[in-house]
């Protein structure tokens, strides 16, 4: 199960960490100030998902870079168009006159950047010590990012600049029923594979007889994995809301911006942000199980003010639209 842990305090800029039990790596959403992000958290990061590079979402990348220098492996960064240049510019803000052999340089920390635009995802690499941007081509995989535990989908939201919303879906777990008319064996693995590949015609050999996979699917049980969504700065427009609903449909947890109060709607629209009420409502329309408002304007930085924003969000989330 994917576990989301906020590494930023409520008054700080956003940083959300995703942990997976019995998995060596962690994953990070946005690089805002994060008092609770430890050095060991940073060393274990395998991929970073940046919504957009407004300073409040990206400035803490420097701290991450500082503590990742010794990890000697690839770290992936995903983000909107321009992110590759943003990452490179941050790195080039420092002096890199270190002497490494070619072999050492190849093994040292390097970044793969996946840059999302409307029609394609461009892949770039950045290596020490020159940190030149090498364009490696276009991503052809089905998902923006995938590993053995989860896959990541996204939506490009309008925040007067593209802001990427992410959804992390854990792979389903397929198990076989205990009560079977056949002896257990190698065929179970082949059947599970046919199920994952959605190949009902595949022939499965059991005790010398061939069976069609679709006739055996009844013996499988699928347990859906958890789904966690991260939706940052966006204008509360119909178009953005539809994209959020499609991406986050029935997520277990949705972390979403609640920058302004609804009485500040004019300001929210001017700055292409949402309000607590509208974010709560869109979370409800997406039928998420749990919605967590994060990222509040500096206008609402006292405990009392944040409580008011959260209450407004809850009102939006619990509203009954059918009434």
Work out how close the CB of 277 gets to Zn ion at its nearest, in angstroms, rounded to a whole number: 18
Could you tell me where the DSSP H helices lie in the chain?
39-43, 55-58, 61-68, 83-91, 102-107, 187-196, 213-216, 238-248, 265-270, 276-285, 303-318
Comparison of 150 and 260: residue with beta carbon closer to Zn ion: 260
Comparison of 56 and 252: residue with beta carbon closer to Zn ion: 56
The whole-angstrom separation of Cα 288 and Cα 257 is 15
Work out how close the CB of 293 gets to Zn ion at its nearest, in angstroms, rounded to a whole number: 13
User: Are the C-beta atoms of residues 189 and 263 closer than 8 Å to each other?
Assistant: no
Work out how close the CB of 30 gets to Zn ion at its nearest, in angstroms, rounded to a whole number: 9
Comparison of 80 and 316: residue with beta carbon closer to Zn ion: 80
Residue-wise burial string across 193-215, b where 16 or more C-beta atoms lie within 10 A, e elsewhere: ebbeeeeeebebebeeeebebee
User: Are the C-beta atoms of residues 260 and 276 closer than 8 Å to each other?
Assistant: yes
List contacts with Zn ion (CB under 5 A). Answer: 54, 56, 233
The whole-angstrom separation of Cα 187 and Cα 213 is 10
Work out how close the CB of 59 gets to Zn ion at its nearest, in angstroms, rounded to a whole number: 11
Work out how close the CB of 243 gets to Zn ion at its nearest, in angstroms, rounded to a whole number: 17
Comparison of 52 and 227: residue with beta carbon closer to Zn ion: 52
User: Are the C-beta atoms of residues 51 and 230 closer than 8 Å to each other?
Assistant: yes
Comparison of 11 and 127: residue with beta carbon closer to Zn ion: 11
């Amino acid at each position: 199960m994917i576990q989301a842990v906020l590494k930023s305090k409520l008054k700080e800029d956003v940083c959300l960490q995703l942990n997976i039990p019995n998995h060596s790596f962690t994953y990070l959403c946005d690089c805002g100030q994060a008092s609770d992000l430890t050095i060991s958290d940073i060393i274990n990061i395998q991929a970073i998902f940046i919504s957009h590079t407004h300073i409040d979402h990206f400035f803490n990348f420097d701290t991450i870079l500082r503590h990742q220098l010794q990890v000697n492996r690839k770290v992936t960064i995903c983000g909107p168009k321009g992110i590759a240049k943003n990452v490179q510019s941050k790195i080039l803000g420092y002096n890199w006159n270190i002497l490494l052999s070619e072999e050492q340089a190849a093994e040292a920390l390097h970044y793969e950047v996946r840059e999302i635009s409307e029609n394609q995802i461009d892949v770039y690499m950045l290596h020490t010590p020159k940190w030149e941007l090498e364009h490696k081509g276009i991503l052809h995989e089905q998902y923006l990012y995938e590993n053995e535990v989860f896959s990541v989908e996204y939506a490009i939201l309008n925040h007067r600049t593209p802001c990427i919303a992410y959804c992390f879906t854990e792979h389903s777990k397929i198990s076989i029923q205990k009560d079977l008319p056949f002896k257990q064996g190698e065929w179970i693995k082949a059947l599970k594979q046919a199920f994952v590949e959605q190949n009902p015609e595949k022939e499965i050999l059991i005790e010398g007889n061939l069976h069609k996979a679709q006739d055996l699917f009844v013996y499988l049980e699928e347990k859906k994995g958890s789904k966690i969504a991260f939706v940052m700065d966006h204008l509360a427009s119909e178009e953005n809301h539809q994209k959020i609903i499609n991406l986050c449909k029935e997520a277990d947890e949705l972390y979403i911006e609640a920058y302004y109060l609804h009485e500040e709607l004019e300001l929210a629209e001017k700055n292409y942000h949402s309000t607590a009420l509208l974010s709560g409502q869109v979370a409800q329309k997406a039928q998420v199980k749990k919605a967590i408002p994060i990222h509040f304007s500096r206008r609402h930085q006292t405990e009392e003010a944040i409580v008011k924003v959260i209450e407004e969000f809850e009102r939006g989330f619990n509203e009954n639209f059918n009434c």
